[in-house]
Chain A
Amino acid sequence: MGLSKWIGTKQGIFIVLLVLLAVLPLILNDFHTNLLGRYLAFAILVIGLDLVWGYTGILSLGHGIFFGLGAYIMAIYVTTESSGGALPDFMMWSGMTELPFLWELLSNPVAAILLGILLPMAIASLLGFFTFRNRIKGVYFTILTQALVLVTVTLIVSQQRYTGGSDGLSGLSTMFGFSLSSPQTQLFLYFLTLVVLAAVFYFCFKLVNSRFGKVLIAIRDGENRLRFSGYNTAYYKMVVFTLSAGIAGLAGMLYVLQIRIITPTMIDIIPSIEMALWVAIGGRGTLLGPIFGAILANVGTTFFSENYPELWTYFIGLVFIVVIVFLPGGLMSIGNKLKRKRRGSDHEEAEQQAGSAADKHS
């Protein structure tokens, strides 16, 4: 395969993107690098979301919670380290005298990092177990994930003495002795996020091209046929949903270290739906598209929502409608359409694959 052709493949585009992202901090100032690092954390999340939605056809609107759990757990660890064992302010205000057990446990970095991934996975597998084995699917499952968000956010807000309530956690200043506000630490975190993004992409890319991945796509396109062929589809769905939740938790941990605050509104229903929008904008079932979707949508939100908040909301609403109704394949399908025009029917097969991801999602 020639170099020019290799660049056009998914791996090629991804490598080019990685190189670009690795060079960008040289040009950008500290603040913008930090912003981009946050978007990369979202990009990690959407790869996992694409795995369940784009490939398996299960739309989860609960990923904000998995992301949020990772973020909260990491925030709790960093808060305990920053305060040097003293009680955070909000706990003292609500009359606590010593750290609650959960906080005590999470003041151990190993436990925190493990739980940040394992707790979202545990919740996801529990929900998956109770729904998939009963063949609750499609929009029913989606509604249940949404209810999960509502329940968890209400719980976080109400358990103010443990979670900081609606103000969230914001006393994140040092981790492993390094100041989180220093540009060097943030630059390190940027590259750490980039490395994790590359690893997650590589892992998911291998996964969807494996036998397991083929089963996922088959579930999306014709679950009953697969069931009649003797596959236990509930098991596959549970595994992929759990995996995706773990990826979301990991993304949440990296995210909170870079933004240094986490509140319930950041993981509520609307952010959870927006995550699905990023996947849709980029192109479902492509792994690569959602990364672009997440970065572009967030760049847009940051730079336009501050200056034109009203117009931006109208615009985002329109993007939702236009992308879903008229461009179900997302940005990636534009690329494929152009490619097909240029090279004739060469890539028709590839496009059909991308297209069926969009058509057969329910």
Chain B
Amino acid sequence: MEGIISQLFNGISLGSILLLIALGLAITFGLMNVINMAHGELIMIGAYATYVVQSLFIDYLPESMFNWYFILAVPAAFLTAALIGWLLEWTVIRHLYGRPLDSLLATFGAGLILQQAARSIFGAPNVGVQSPALLSGAVEIFSISFPKSRIFIILLVTACVLFMFYYFYKTSNGRRIRAVMQNRDMASSVGISTRQVDSTTFALGAGFAGIAGMALTLIGPIGPTLGTAYIIDAFMVVVVGGVGMLLGTVIAALGIGVFNTGFEYFTNASMGRVLLFAVIILFLQWRPNGLFNLSTRKLD
């Protein structure tokens, strides 16, 4: 029983990281019909931003302040990744609207460049980010221990997702995003600047990838290829969750996280992956368009 609960907890914490990564992917795919392979590198950028903030704290501030670096690291990771994402959108992606396969390949190229840049700046070997004392150790509830860092990650993701729901469904910007998603031409003709909606939304999704990168520094060492490990799983979340509805992404991310750790618990890491892939293929037999979808009668 305890084993199962802590596996479930691990599953949810993995799922919540996937969710943070997949949110940006799902929204930009729904909005602009582009798939961003460089999204993984935006995670990596967020992680290195955290590393830089931490190094600055170590170098310039008294030791007693060190614990608080991660509070500053969250906005730093968000802003750096959002800025690079915005640049990426402006230089590459805006040429590729409505060409998902091409955008996948072109952004893969952009990802290669970003990875190499990270290698040139920070060196190829992984670097470790020291967890703040505040988040090390575990909380024991009914003799089951929950690592504090993972609890923090879950809370962080919950906050981000709540913000996203609010932004998406309650603000005028969110309304514009949904309008463009449903019908770009119509939205444009009633005066929405689709260009601006696209670039801000893309930057926002990139920023969330950056926060995911910050969260990953709490789990293990980081390196230039950090994002690649997560990007395919995040894509699977988009495929399973469907496009255009936040709720689908949330359920799919948590589901994949829980199934993944569950399968790994009962078999082993590689068989777990095979089983997960099989389950996803079977799931798509039932819902080829994912859990939720903006239903239209449009063809092609």
Contact = CB atoms under 8 A, between A and B. Distances in A.
Interface string B124-150: 000000000000000000000000000
A151 B101 contact: no
Given A154-B270, A314-B116, A134 B284 contact: yes
Contacts of B274: 151, 154-155
B92 interface: yes
Contacts, number: 122
A324 B29 CA distance: 18
Contacts of B280: 144, 147
B268 interface: yes
Contacts of A195: none
Nearest to B281: A130
B241 to A, nearest CB: 12
B106 A135 contact: no
B299 interface: yes
A157 interface: yes
B92 A321 contact: yes
B176 interface: no
A139 B109 contact: no
A318 interface: yes
B285 interface: yes
A224 B298 CA distance: 11
A238 to B, nearest CB: 15
A138 B281 CA distance: 16
A138 B299 CA distance: 13
A150 B232 contact: yes
Given A144-B281, A269-B232, A280-B105, A158 B92 contact: no
Given A328-B102, A361-B102, A317 B284 contact: no
Contact of B269 (A130, A136, A154, A320): A154
The main secondary structure of chain A at its interface with chain B is: helix
B112 A320 contact: yes
A317 B112 contact: yes
A324 B109 contact: yes
B7 interface: no
B299 A136 contact: no
Contacts of A131: 281, 284
A316 B112 CA distance: 8
Contact of B105 (A144, A147, A320): A320
A317 B98 CA distance: 21
Contacts of A313: 112-113, 115-116
Which bracket fits the contact residues of B? Answer: 35 or more
Interface string A137-161: 0111011101110110011011100
Contacts of B113: 313-314, 317-318
B197 interface: no
A325 B92 contact: yes
B295 interface: no
B68 interface: no
B184 interface: no
Given A157-B270, A318-B109, A324 B102 contact: yes
A84 interface: no
A136 B285 CA distance: 9
Nearest to A137: B288
A211 to B, nearest CB: 23
Contacts of B300: 222-224
B285 A324 contact: no
Contacts of B239: 140, 143-144
Contact of A321 (B29, B100, B106, B115): B106
A362 B100 contact: yes
A319 interface: yes
B95 A325 contact: yes
A69 interface: no
A315 to B, nearest CB: 9
Instruction: Count chain B CB atoms within 10 A of each CB in A157, A310, A317, A361 and give the residue with the most.
Output: A317
Nearest to B277: A151
Nearest to B34: A139
Contacts of B238: 143
A49 interface: no
Contacts of A134: 284-285, 288
Interface string A112-128: 00000000000000010
A139 B104 contact: yes
B200 to A, nearest CB: 22
A321 B281 contact: no
Given A314-B113, A317-B112, A146 B105 contact: no
10 shortest interchain CB distances as A-B pairs? A320-B109, A158-B270, A317-B113, A317-B112, A134-B288, A139-B100, A324-B106, A313-B116, A317-B109, A143-B235
7 contacts: A130-B285, A139-B101, A142-B101, A147-B277, A151-B273, A317-B112, A321-B110
Given A143-B232, A154-B273, A362-B100, 7 more contacts: A127-B281, A144-B284, A151-B274, A159-B270, A324-B109, A328-B102, A361-B99
